[in-house]
Amino acid sequence: MSKLYVITGPAGVGKSTVSKEIAKKSKKSALIEGDMIYHLVCSGYKSAWEKGNHLKVFWENCIDIIRNFLNNGYDVVFNYIIIKKKIEEIRSIFKNVEIKFIVLMTEKETIIERDKERPEDNQMKDRVLILLESFKKQGFKEENILDTSNMSIEETAKTILENDIFII
């Protein structure tokens, strides 16, 4: 049976890097980078936090792509900045799928440094700290939060793959 891994956390926490590592360890997997789907829009693009954004069509596309890969026997690793309400929707849509939901967290200094390492036009600057605080206030279950401050990418992926605590 295919599995769905949903990886979230504030910008700069390592969602993409950890997701790639998890996807590589599966025999048959698809990696869906939420940012790539969101950035498919060219004309009329608005940032996700701006009024008039295209989150509705983004989520419709993500759900359809996830469903298609799962229905064809792929494990799916999906990462994006997800609020608590949205993970509950995903869980209700994919009732018959084992879902591991992980909120990656790390300390403020690490997130600031990682944001500075991005190309200038991809940096979120003060927004990374706003997102970090927002994630702390979301009320995610403690068992779904993984503090990666002292973990390597490999250790983080292994922890996610080997622990059923993340299943929702």
pLDDT tens-place string over residues 10-21: 988 999 999 999
**pLDDT value of residue 111:** 87
| C-alpha dist (Å) from residue 28 to 20, 24, 75, 140, 161 | 13, 9, 6, 29, 14
Q: Residue 164 above 90 pLDDT?
A: yes
**pLDDT value of residue 127:** 85
Number of domains in the chain: 1
> Do 138 and 13 touch, CB atoms closer than 8 A?
no
Of the candidates 113, 128, 5, the residue with the CA atom closest to the CA atom of residue 69: 5
**pLDDT value of residue 88:** 94
Q: Which domain holds residue 150?
A: 3-166
d(CA 46, CA 41): 9
Mean pLDDT of all residues in 42-68 = 95
Report the CATH number at residue 112: 3.40.50.300
Mean pLDDT of all residues in 13-37 = 96
75-106 pLDDT, tens digit per residue, is 999 999 998 999 999 999 999 999 999 999 99
Mean pLDDT of all residues in 26-41 = 96
**pLDDT value of residue 118:** 85
What is the pLDDT confidence band of residue 121, given thresholds at 50, 70 and 90?
confident
**pLDDT value of residue 145:** 96
**pLDDT value of residue 115:** 87
d(CA 104, CA 148): 7
